[in-house]
């Protein structure tokens, strides 16, 4: 396992946690907006483990603001991380996956790629772009047995969403939009990622896997 993040301290803590559980992890501090960092990351991964079987593009940023006042710098920053870095990394790992004629690329998108939400145009547009990029890559690389799929989380209690789930009123309103009437916990994404990374999903590519408590399929719930 190779871990990449711009926050070196957090990387080291995760690397240590993996080691304590008997796993093997390599932590590589990486700025996703730096091309040299991306190249170095993939080279270190291949050098350490001899091959690359799975790529999970799970980095994401969200900068809110009214669409008519949205700053171009925020738009560019969001697309640099949420879309451009994912495409660049996919191309870099494909160089290793194509000769071995196998691989799985998992792009973490969002319910925001399929639904409209207020005051966050760059996040929604970037996740929608990533969702469609997945289909393009799945089409191009199927001949090499490289599968590319989207994992689409709903409302999960993460650092990015802390402002929402730590506010009881906002948290309650958003939970009420889900069939399961609650927020997801990060551990509930582990199984779906393993599924998409493994041979259990060997006949699945170019698809969306929604893990959202039923948010994406909700009509009118009882009591509404």
- Catalytic site residues? 123
How many whole angstroms from its chain centre is CA 24?
A: 22
First-last CA distance in the chain: 45
Element (H, E) at 210: strand 208-211
> What is the SS3 assignment for 196?
helix
Cα dihedral 14, 129, 44, 38 sign: negative
| Phi and psi angles of residue 211, each rounded to the nearest 5 degrees, phi first | -120, 85
> What does the chain come to in residues?
224
CB 28 within 8 Å of CB 47: no
**Exposure string for 153-178, b = 16+ CB within 10 A, e = fewer:** bbbbbeeebeeebeeeeebeebbebb
């Amino acid at each position: 396992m190779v871990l990449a993040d711009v926050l070196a301290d957090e990387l080291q803590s995760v690397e240590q946690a993996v080691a304590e559980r008997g796993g093997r992890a390599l932590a590589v501090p990486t700025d996703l907006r730096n091309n040299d960092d991306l190249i170095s990351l993939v080279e270190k991964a291949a050098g350490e483990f001899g091959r690359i079987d799975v790529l999970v593009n799970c980095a994401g940023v969200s900068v809110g603001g009214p669409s008519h006042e949205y700053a171009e710098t925020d738009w560019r920053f969001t697309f640099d991380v949420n879309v451009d870095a994912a495409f660049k990394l996919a191309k870099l790992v494909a160089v290793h996956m194509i000769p071995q004629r196998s691989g799985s690329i998992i792009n973490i998108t969002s319910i925001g790629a399929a639904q409209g939400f207020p005051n966050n145009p760059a996040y929604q547009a970037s996740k929608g772009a990533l969702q469609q990029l997945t289909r393009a890559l799945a089409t191009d690389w199927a001949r090499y047995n490289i599968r590319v799929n989207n994992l689409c989380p709903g409302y999960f209690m993460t650092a990015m969403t802390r402002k929402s789930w730590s506010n009881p009123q906002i948290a309650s309103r958003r939970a009420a939009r889900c069939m399961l009437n609650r927020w997801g916990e990060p551990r509930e994404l582990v199984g779906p990622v393993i599924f998409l990374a493994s041979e259990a999903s060997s006949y699945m590519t170019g698809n969306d896997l929604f893990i959202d408590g039923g948010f994406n399929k909700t009509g009118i719930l009882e009591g509404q």
